[in-house]
Chain A
Amino acid sequence: MLAWTIYISFAGALVLAVLPKGNATLARAIALVIAAAGFLIAIAGFAAGAGQGRVTIIDVPWVPAMGIHYTLAADGISRVLVLLTGLAALAGVLFSWNINLRTNEFFAFFFALIGGVYGVFLSFDLFLLFVFYEIAIVPKYFLIAIWGSTRREYAAMKLALYSFVGSAMVLIVLLAAYATSGSHSTGLVNLANADFPIGFQMWAFPVTFIGFGILAGLWPFHTWAPTGHVAAPTAASMLLAGVVMKLGAYGCLRVAIGLFPHGLDQWGWSFWGIGSWRDVFALLAVIGIVYGALVALAQTDFKFVIGYSSVSHMGFVLLGLVTLTQVGVDGAVLQMFSHGVIAGLLFAIVGRIVYDRTHTRQLAELETMYLGRRMPFAAWAFVIAGVASMGLPGFSGFVAELQVLIGAWIAKPWWTAASGVGIVIGVAYTWRALQKAFFSDRLPKPDEHPKEGWPKFDPITWPEVTATCLLFAATLIVGIYPSILLNSIEPAVKALLAGGMQ
């Protein structure tokens, strides 16, 4: 059933692309229907898959000469991420309601991207996964280059180049793994059982991890992320931070860790306590957490704050993955979901609700605008989203980061201590942005107010309210009752860590 999410999205993209120009309302309506259908299928698939392990959806030969199959399957991790994609797509459509420039093309690219993302999460053949991964890159470029803002061509090109370099690294490993395994198959399950020689895994693991890690915002390969997030139109930022970065993290988990687990073994020697690739990547993840937070603290552009915060939060995902403990990896997957929802919400508030009305993202200008009073919906929505983002309990981010930190305690206590610093800075930059943008003290004095009163902003529209509530509900439900996702994630992670993906 979940396979239909892919087909519906691609079919929708096609329909929207050929739609006569000029009828924006129709394009929006179609987009909404497609996104809602995808989300409903994702929910149904999630509900139907409860308690089941990996379920193969379809498995037919594709390029028999090379043993490539068209294999779609879903385990607990895939189902959670498909659910996230459906949610992000629906929210993205609602927050793009005011796009008037070439509306149908915008949504066509949008759904091409979404279809690719669904495809990656459901592919259980490495070659197929790679194809979907590449499909997702192209629409991103156009979404940013055509509908973007601040330095959009530069940002779009940077993003595309980084993505292609990452893919090239993955492709090398794909081919080498195919040749080495000798099993004449690119199926993930076959490869996982192939018993690669340890020397092979020792180089294949880091190459794959970095290749996918680039898209997950792995420090120091993260620099595409803030510029890309900022330049992208709101819906595209939401997707970039919400699901595209998750593609990278998912690849790290499913391919790098799933296929080459011995690449994480000790080298047998160590330098300053770094004795394995695991230590190397944990160090990079922790640096990402702290560095992203520190840079976010220094930004003057509201959207850059959120952009760098994504780097910091994705650091938790990567840290959780390399803890290689049940609880740490559970936390990482949960954090993927949680960050997808929360980052989407933050980008929507900053890029859509606020920017489209104030036409500035400079914190210094927003400070003088009385936004806390004039835009109470945006202000209180940001308070809740900010509280969720800084990982306060009751919201999904807390449970996720909590588990990552527990995993880190088990693996290496100092990782935890360093990440703790990252959390504190996270509180600081979120709170700084919140205060500056909405609750500033540097307001004009009463006698400097405009005589005719403050100009009214456009009222908040129903798509904005609906999408905001949708994302709120998701982060709250998962925050208060995380078992709803954990019950699905846990067995899948257990199987993956045990090796063999059986």
Chain B
Amino acid sequence: MSTVNSTNEVPGDVTNAVSVNTKFANVATASGAINEENVRSEGVDRRTLESYTGGRREPLVFVDYDDRDNSAATVHPNQTGEGFVTISNVLLDLTASPLTVTAGDLVRIHFTAFLTGIDDGQYATWGAAGSDSGGPNRSFNPADAIGIVFFPMWRIANPGSFVPLTNEADLNTTLVSPADIVINDSTDKTDSIAFCSMEGYLDSGNCVSAREVHGTWNYIHTGANVTIYEVNLNFRGPMVYEYNGASRVLHSPIWNAGRYDITCMDIPQSPTNRFGITVGNAQLSIMVMRGDS
């Protein structure tokens, strides 16, 4: 009982030691159970809340971030979208103190990534060489859905390897072009990706995109606990958003073939059929919160 119930002493009544002792014991008991019954409204404020020194802190269970610091931009040659690259120097390593996520927790993963550019200087999403080159047949060519896909992955087993986030598409699949990564609305979602355009301007033989994208993933966990050991950031591409007759997909085409051939869109500009992708700075963060949902 957190409130104190007692009756007054009445003049004329015999002084009863047990009664008085009980009253004080009642106070002691109530003071041992400090709760909403004895604390006034607005009685708990910042001063009474424990300072955050690490560990769980309602509603913030955990937060951590990393960025590439002053690492130089990294060049990744021969990219086709068939494989993926883990961006170096940006990693959330929780191995020393793994993070346990319980049912009801909200996991928020944020990342930004800066696409410096690609080595296809004449790159244009509707095709190279503009409207007049090679005749009028290409002048009405539309822009295609080409971009670099940035995505995080995590390691939730120890030992174990990095896997896509819960119910996200198989973004780490190794493909042999032409091939697809299927997108659906249940177990192959693309909520966590950031789709970055390579459009830019010609400079010294490169196409300078100079573009930063921001991807997020919010997830209210259900079911058994999950332990997070590491989170990293990756990219693959260029990839193309399409419909393959059955599903939405992220498609890895054979570059310089089909509509990307030299006589059509010429992506990348011949003779090469692969891309050098330059990635600049990147940041990655994770925040786990606990609250009502």
**Physical interaction between A and B:** no
